[in-house]
Amino acid sequence: MRKIIVPTDFSENAQNALRYACEVFKYERSEFILMHAFADEVYESHLNVSRDLFEEYREKVKESSLKELQSIIAEMERNPCNPRHIFTSEAIFAPLVDAVNELADRENADVVVMGTKGETDDRNITFGSNTLQVVKYVASPVLAIPSNYTDWHPEHIVFATDYSMPFRKRELKLVSTLAKSFAATLHFVHVSSFESLSFRQQDNKSFLESCLDENQLEFHTLVGKEVIQTVEKFVEEKKADMLIMVNHRHSVLEDIFFSNTIDTLGLKMKIPFLILQNLPR
């Protein structure tokens, strides 16, 4: 069974991410674990109270969170994408990253699905702070969904890679199943100043092809130095429905995420963005 964690702050962006997840995984028997991390909400309430009253307030917030989560589940179950989908909920008193990491480890989750923005929905920000923190510090694939994105059926998926690091078979299986469910074409884009691949890159590419032998694959080598801009142009030309990249040491994504320059570098995501993880945490 596919296990999918969907963190929520009860915003419309989070709801939209949940709807997208249910649609894109509707052909698989899946468990959707809706979770709300509420530690910051309690600590930032600035309650100048005794420990007993603090604990009482924490329990009230937890009960309120669980009720909201159950309300969301009830709505999803009224119009299920797949009757075999299972919905469960978790209200966790911890910071978001710690809560997602603990839950992902405990449940052996396949992917975390989030909206790219939270309650603030700032139009000038590509990734909200919560989504960015999860991408940077949670050792699980993260599927980030732009607000108001409602095209549930991917046809062209762009996978940008330099083939420099070995891929994880489990993550490739996730990509394969997702693409195969919609007969989507996987476009592998390699941006480089060199036309040929090293032996390491060739071996990693061969492993990738063997794991995705049931999918429709196209390989593209684009000459250039500005990886993000080149990939974005290719995404626009192909009218792609999803972008996939791998985050690993010394990768373009790591440089972006860890220097907090995701917006200044021009990565303005208008389509779902699946970030695979190859980082020791």
CATH number 1.10.10.10 given to 2-145: no
pLDDT band at 143 (very low <50, low <70, confident <90, very high): very high
CB 184 within 8 A of CB 155: yes
The pLDDT, as a whole number, for residue 255 is 55
Q: What mean pLDDT value characterizes the chain?
A: 86
What pLDDT, on the 0 to 100 scale, is given for residue 21? 96
pLDDT reported for residue 48:
76
Residue 281: predicted pLDDT: 43
Strands (E), the chain: 2-7, 30-37, 86-92, 111-115, 142-145, 156-160, 185-192, 216-223, 242-248, 273-278
User: For 80-99, how does the pLDDT look when each residue is reduced to its tens digit (9 = 90+)?
Assistant: 889 999 999 999 999 999 99
- For residue 261, the 8-state DSSP code is -
Q: Is the pLDDT of residue 185 over 50?
A: yes
Residue-level pLDDT at 125: 41
Beta bridge partners, 145, equal 115
Q: CB of 199 within 8 A of CB of 210? A: no
pLDDT in tens, 202-261: 999 999 999 999 999 999 999 877 788 888 889 999 999 999 988 865 555 555 554 443
Task: Map out the domains of the chain as residue ranges.
Answer: 2-145, 156-278
Same fold, 2-145 and 156-278: yes
Q: Tell me the sheet residues that pair with 187.
A: 158, 218
Reduced DSSP (H G I as helix, E B as strand, rest coil) percent helix, strand, coil of the chain, to 5: 40, 25, 35
Q: What is the pLDDT of residue 3?
A: 97
pLDDT at 279: 52
* Residue in 144, 105, 126 with CA at minimum distance from that of residue 7: 144
pLDDT the model gives residue 159: 96
Cα(143)–Cα(21) distance, integer angstroms: 9
Q: Which CATH architecture has domain 156-278?
A: 3-Layer(aba) Sandwich (3.40)
Considering only residues 132 and 211, tell me which one the structure prediction assigns the higher pLDDT. Answer: 211
**Amino acid 138: pLDDT:** 86
Contacts of residue 180, Cβ cutoff 8 Å, sequence gap at least 6 = 214, 215
Cβ–Cβ under 8 Å, residues 91 and 35: yes
Q: Is 225 left (phi over 0), alpha (psi -120 to 50) or beta?
A: alpha
Count of other CB atoms within 10 angstroms of residue 50: 9
Give pLDDT tens digits for 29-45: 999 999 999 999 888 87
pLDDT at 280 over 80: no
